[in-house]
Structure 1
Amino acid sequence: MKKLLPALLLPIWLGSCRHEEKTLVSAILTDSLITHFTLPPVAARNETELQFWKSRINPANPGYLNESRYAACLNMAFRLSGEIDSLKKADSILLALDRNFNHREASACLALAAQGISQHRFREADSLLRKAKALGLRPYESHAASFDVAFELGNYFQAKAELNAIRSPGDYGYYFRRSRLDHLDGELDSAIADMERAAGLAGTNGYLKGVALSNAGDLYLHAEDPVRAKEAYLQGIRQNSADFHSWMGLGWIALIHDKDARMADTIFRFVHSKNPLPDVLFRLEQMAGVRGDSGLQLRYARDFAREATRPVYGGMYNKYLIQLYTGVLHDPAAAEALATAELQNRATPQTYAWQVWALFACNKREDAYALFQRQVSGKPLEALELFWMGRLMEGAGKNYNAREFFRAAARSRYDLDPADAVYVQKKLEE
C-alpha cells in the first residue's frame, strides 16, 4: 500500500530548490489577478439568454427550440460557475424534451450524449449517440461525437478514423481533438501545436479560445515547460476570468515550480471561494502535504472525499478518490470498489491501471500483476499510472522494470503528486 513520505522530507525538498529557478507566480501577479477579478462578460450574456429562453417555455405546450436553448444555457452556466445543479437541470430539461418528442429527435439524444460525457457516464453516452445516429445526424456532428465517445471508451482505432473523417485545416474542433490523440500517442510537441492551432481558430469566441489555452497550459506542464504553461494559463484567464482550471494551474506552478505553498494556498482558496466543485479541495490536500501539515492534509482529503462521493457527481472523481483512498485516507477496499465500478463504465489501459493499483494496495499482489500483464503492459499511460505501475514492479521485485516506470513518470513530474515525485526522485538516485 502506498505510504506518504515522512512530513519532514517535503520541506527539505522545497528548501533545497527554492532559489534555483526564477519565481513564476509572484505575489504582485496573484494580488493583481485577485483584486481585479470580475465575472467575464460571457457569464452575464449567458444569464440574460438563460432567462430569456426560460421565460418562453410553456409547460402546457412543450416545444423544442426554447427548451433546447435553455438547456444549453444551463450547461454553459455550469462550465462558468461550477454549479453542478445547473448541469443536472439541463439533464432534466433534455430528458423531458426527448420524451415529449417520443425519442425521435436526434439532436436531443446528441445533447444528452454530450451531457453524459461531461458527467463521465460514458456507456450511457455511447448508447445515446447510437440512437442519435440512427435518427439521423449531419456528418460532422456524427463523426465529432463518435470521436469523443470512442476516445473516452478507449476505442482509439475508431477514434482516429472518426477524426480523419472531419480533417480540416480551419476547424477548431478538429485540432482540439487531434491534440488529444497526439498526446495519447506520445507526440507531445504535436499535441501542443494542435491545441495552439485550435486557440487561433477560435476567432472572436473568447470562451472556446480560453478552453484551448487552458488545455495548452496543461500540455506545457506535461512537457516540463512551466514558463509557457504560465503564459497559456494567463492568456486563458484573460479570455475568461472564470477559467478556474487555469487559476488552479497557476497555483500548481506556484506549488511545484516556485516551491511557494503559501502562494498556492492563496490561489486555491480564492478558487474555492468562487467555484464549488471539489477539484480545488484535492489541490488543497496536496498543498497541505507539501507544507508537512498532516492534520490539514487529512482534513482536506476527507472534505474532498465527502464532496466528490455525493451522488450528484456520479463517478466524475473516481481517479482522485482512488489516489486518496490508497494514500492518506488508508481505505484501499474503497479504492478497489471504485476501480471495479470504473471498469464497468470504461475499460481503458488507464482504468485497468487504477484497478491494478487498487488490488496491489489491498495486498492482492498476484491478481494485480496478472491484470497488469493482460491489460496494461505496453499500453499508453499518464504519469500517475506510470508511478503506480512502478510501485507494482517494485513490490514484485522487478527493480529494473520499476526503474523504467519511474523514469517515465519523472518526465512528467508536474503531473505527479509532490510526495510521489519525491519518491520517484529518490528511487532514481539510488
Structure 2
Amino acid sequence: MKLIKLLIIVVLVSSCNTKNHETVANKKDYDKYLVANEIKTTSKYFDLWNSKIRPDSMQLTSFGIVGGEYNRYFQQTGDIEFLMKAEKSLKRAVDIANIGKPGFYRALARNYISQHRFKEALHLTDSAAAIGGDKTENQSLYFDLHMELGNYDLAESYLDSLKNMSDFGYMIRVAKWNDYKGDLDTTINFMEKARAKAELSKNKDLMLWSYTNLGDYYGHAGRIKDSYDHYLKALEIDNNNAYAKKGIAWIVFSNDKNSKEAIRILDSVTKTYNAPDYFLLKAEIADYAGDDLIRTKNLDEYFTRVKDKAYGDMYNAYNLGLYIGETKQYDSALALAQREVDNRPTPESYSWLGYSHLKNGDKEQAMEIMDTYVYGKTFEPALLYQAAEVYKANGKDARVKEIKGELIGAIYELGPGMEKQVHDL
C-alpha cells in the first residue's frame, strides 16, 4: 500500500524545482503553540444576537451575525456542525431580507463553496448579481467559483474586470491565477504585495491569510526556511491556527525526515481541531514510517468521521485515494470520480477519472482523458504522477520521461514516500 502516493494530492498545488535542504524546523520555535487550548465557540456578543432568534423571528441582523459567527467557529474547530448551522442561519436571512439581500446570497454562496456545492453557489451568485449590490464583490465571487468549476476563461474575464493593483482581494486572486498558470514567481510576487498591504493595514485576518498562503507558495518554490518562518508568523497571530501547524508538520516530515515529530505536531492539533483530513495525513506519515498501529488508528478515525453525511462531497478526493490505494474498490473509485467531474470538471477531477479507468483496466480510455483534460492543463505534481502512470501503461515513454523530469524536482511536495515511485517511472 502506498497511501502517500495517492492521498497527498490535496496538500499539493504546483510543481517546482527543489533541492535537498538542511533541517529547518526547531521544536523551540513552535512547542509553545502545541498546547491544546480549548477553542471558545461562544461569546457574549454571539449569545446576545443568538438570543434574539426565535422560530418565527424576523430579526434579519441576528441571522446574518449568527451565521458569520458559526462560520468563524467552523474555521477554528473544523467541526462540520458549525458550517451546517451557519448555512441554516444564512438561508433564513436570505428568506426574510428585503434590504441587503445580495450580501446574504454571497455569504450563503461562500458557505456552499466550503461544502463543495459549487453549482448551487453559482446559482446564488447569479441571484445576487441579478439584484445588483456591490459589483466588485459579485465579480470576485464569480472568479472564485469559476476557478473551482474549471471555467478558467470565465474566471480570467472576471479577474480582468476587477483590476485594481491597490486592492488586497485583487492581488490574492492574481496570485491564484498565476499559480494555476504555473508561474510561481509571479504568484509569490503578488502574494508578497498582498502581505505588505495587510501588514500596513494591521488587519490580523488578512495578515494571517497572507502568511499561511505564502507559507504554501514558498514551500512549492523550494524556499523551505521562508515557508517555515511564515507559518510561525501565522501562529504568532493565532496560536491555535491548525493550518499553520499542519504546514510545519509537513516541513518536519518531508524536508526534515522526522515522521515521529510530524505526528506529534498533528496529534496536538487534532485534540481540538476536528477536520478528518488531519487524521488521514497522520496515517500517511505513519505509513511511510512503517508504524502500522498509528496508521490503522488514524485511518479508522478518518473513516468514522467522514461517514457523517453532512460532509457531502467535501472529501471525495481523499476517498478516491483510499478506494484506489487502500481498499482496491476500483468500481467505487470510478463512480466517485465521475461524480467529481460532474460536480467540478477541473483537471484534478478528470485526473482521478482517468486514473480510475486505468485501475479498472481501461488504459486507452484513461489516456484519452489525460490527453484531453489533464496533460498541459495543470502543474500539480500528484496529477502529473497519475498521468505518468497512465502514459507508462500505454507505452508513451517519451512523455513519461518528460513528466518524470518535472516530478524529480517536486519530491518535497510529493513527500519522501514518493521518491522511489518517481524514479521507477
Q: TM-score w.r.t. structure 1 length? A: 0.89
Indicate which of 180, 183, 202 corresponds to 1:184. 180
Cα separation, 1, equivalents of 2:140 and 2:21? 42
Deviates more, 1:200-209 or 1:75-84: 200-209
Q: 1:392 to 1:103 in 2, by over 3 A?
A: farther
Confirm whether residue 124 of structure 1 aligns to residue 139 of structure 2.
no
Query: How much has 1:304 moved relative to structure 2?
Result: 2.0
Query: How much has 1:421 moved relative to structure 2?
Result: 3.1
Q: 1:206 to 1:34 in 2, by over 3 A?
A: same
8 Å Cα contact 1:154-1:348 kept in structure 2: yes
Partner of 1:355: 353
Partner of 2:368: 370
Confirm whether residue 100 of structure 1 aligns to residue 116 of structure 2.
no
Partner of 1:32: 32
Query: How much has 1:309 moved relative to structure 2?
Result: 4.3
SS in structure 1 of the partner of residue 290 of structure 2: coil
Cα separation, 2, equivalents of 1:52 and 1:414? 48
Percent pairwise identity: 27
Gaps of 5+ in 2: 6-19
Cα separation, 2, equivalents of 1:253 and 1:104? 44
Cα separation, 2, equivalents of 1:215 and 1:106? 28
Describe the superposition over 1:344-387 as per-residue Cα deviations: whole angstroms up to 9, x where unpaired. 11111221111111111222212212222232232124111011
Partner of 1:14: none
Confirm whether residue 172 of structure 1 aligns to residue 172 of structure 2.
no
Deviates more, 1:95-104 or 1:376-385: 95-104
Matches within 5 A, 1:27-66: 27-35=27-35, 38=37, 47-66=43-62
* Aligned partner letter, 1:378: G
Confirm whether residue 134 of structure 1 aligns to residue 124 of structure 2.
no
8 Å Cα contact 1:53-1:66 kept in structure 2: yes
Cα separation, 2, equivalents of 1:102 and 1:357? 48
Cα separation, 2, equivalents of 1:197 and 1:275? 31
Confirm whether residue 155 of structure 1 aligns to residue 154 of structure 2.
no
Describe the superposition over 1:45-83 as per-residue Cα deviations: whole angstroms up to 9, x where unpaired. x73432222123344331321211110111111111212
* Aligned partner letter, 2:196: G
Deviates more, 1:161-170 or 1:111-120: 161-170
Partner of 1:261: 259
8 Å Cα contact 2:63-2:92 kept in structure 1: no
Partner of 2:12: none
* Aligned partner letter, 2:77: S
Aligned length: 409
8 Å Cα contact 2:90-2:108 kept in structure 1: yes
Gaps of 5+ in 1: 7-19
Cα separation, 1, equivalents of 2:400 and 2:268? 39
Confirm whether residue 211 of structure 1 aligns to residue 218 of structure 2.
no
* Aligned partner letter, 1:218: D
Q: 1:48 to 1:206 in 2, by over 3 A?
A: farther
Query: How much has 1:93 moved relative to structure 2?
Result: 1.1
Cα separation, 1, equivalents of 2:320 and 2:387? 14
SS in structure 2 of the partner of residue 88 of structure 1: helix
Partner of 1:277: 275
Cα separation, 1, equivalents of 2:99 and 2:317? 34
The structure with higher relative contact order (CA 8 Å, sep 6+) is 2
Partner of 2:22: 22
Partner of 2:336: 338
8 Å Cα contact 1:81-1:242 kept in structure 2: no
Cα separation, 1, equivalents of 2:256 and 2:169? 34
Partner of 2:70: 74
8 Å Cα contact 2:4-2:284 kept in structure 1: no
Q: 1:190 to 1:221 in 2, by over 3 A?
A: same
Q: 1:367 to 1:170 in 2, by over 3 A?
A: same
Matches within 5 A, 1:400-411: 400-411=398-409
Describe the superposition over 1:200-246 as per-residue Cα deviations: whole angstroms up to 9, x where unpaired. 22222212211221111111111122111101111111121222111
* Aligned partner letter, 1:55: S
Q: 1:3 to 1:235 in 2, by over 3 A?
A: closer
Describe the superposition over 1:86-119 as per-residue Cα deviations: whole angstroms up to 9, x where unpaired. 1100101111222334899222221111111111
Cα separation, 1, equivalents of 2:131 and 2:91? 16
8 Å Cα contact 2:4-2:415 kept in structure 1: no
Partner of 1:11: none
8 Å Cα contact 2:52-2:59 kept in structure 1: no
SS in structure 2 of the partner of residue 276 of structure 1: coil
* Aligned partner letter, 1:128: L
Q: 1:407 to 1:324 in 2, by over 3 A?
A: farther
Cα separation, 2, equivalents of 1:27 and 1:233? 14
